[in-house]
Amino acid sequence: MRRRRNKATTDARTEVLDRIRAALAGPDGVAVGGTGEDPATTVGRPSAADAVVRHYRSTGVHEPGSPALIEMLTDRLADYRAVVHEVADASELPAALRRVLAGVRTAVVPPWLDSAWVTAAAGAGVAVRTDAPTVPLSTEALESVEVVLTGARVAIAETGTIVLDAGPDQGRRIITLLPDRHVCIVRAGQVVQTVPEAIAVLGRSPARPQTWISGPSATSDIELTRVEGVHGPRRLDVVLLRS
C-alpha cells in the first residue's frame, strides 16, 4: 500500500521553496546567477552576482611585530600554558636554544631549518635527526624522539595561536604531532594581530597543509579534567625572536 504524503509536510516544503525562489530571484524573476535552475538545488552555491559583506575586522590596529603584539602574544601563550623564551636578537638565539634544550637527548628537525639553529641544538648535546624528504623518518622513530625543533609561518597575537604550513623550516605535519615536546622559533615580524591577517599570509601558499597551535595539546572531554598530550606535544616552548 502506498503511504500517503502528509499534506502539512508538503505545504511546508512548498512554502520554504517559494521563499527561496523569491529571495534569489532577480528583477526579471530569474534566480540570481541566470541559470534558471531550481533554487532548491542551488542554495549555497556561490555566484558572481553575490556581494559578500564582511563586517569583521580584516586588520588590527598594531603593525606586525610591534612591541604591543609581542606582549599580547606572550600573555596569550602563557594563558595556554606554553613556555615563552624571549630573545633580543639572532646573535643570542644559539645560547637561548642551548638553555631550552638542556637535558634533551634526541631531537628531530625539518630538512631546511636554519643551520645555526641545528648547530646550537647539537651544541647542547642533543642527537639531532633530520626528517629528509628522500628518507623520511618512520612513525616509530618520531615517537621515540623527545623534541621537535621548527620555525613557524605566522603567529596570531589576539588568539595566542601559532600556525605552521609545512614550509621549509617546519617540515612535514607529522613531525610536529608525534614528539612529546615542540620547540618553535617565532620571529617578531611573523606576529600579526588578527586571524584575517594570518589567513592573508597563509593564502600565499594555499595548498600547504596547516597546523594551528594554541598552547600544548590538551582536552577536557573526559569528566572536564584537563589532559595534555592527547593530540600532539604535551609541552610547547616558544622561542620569540624580537629582532
Read off the C-alpha cell for 199: 589567513
CB 224, CB 90: distance < 8 Å = no
CA 168 – CA 113 distance, rounded (Å): 7
CB 238, CB 186: distance < 8 Å = yes
CB 88, CB 240: distance < 8 Å = no
CA 165 – CA 152 distance, rounded (Å): 8
What pLDDT is stored for residue 41 in this prediction?
A: 55
CB count within 10 Å of CB 80 equals 15
Show pLDDT as tens, one digit a residue, over the chain (243 residues): 455 556 666 788 888 888 888 877 765 555 554 455 554 555 555 555 556 677 777 888 999 999 999 999 999 999 999 999 999 999 999 999 999 999 999 999 999 999 999 999 999 999 999 999 999 999 999 999 999 999 999 999 999 999 999 999 999 999 999 999 999 999 999 999 999 999 999 999 999 999 999 977 556 556 665 555 556 689 999 999 998
CA 71 – CA 158 distance, rounded (Å): 10
Q: Helix count (H) and strand count (E) of the chain?
A: 7, 12
What pLDDT is stored for residue 10 in this prediction?
A: 72
What pLDDT is stored for residue 58 in this prediction?
A: 82
Closest-CA residue to 171 (of 128, 206, 133, 114): 133
Q: Which residues are bridge partners to 87 per DSSP?
A: 241
Q: What DSSP designation does 120 have? A: H
pTM: 0.75
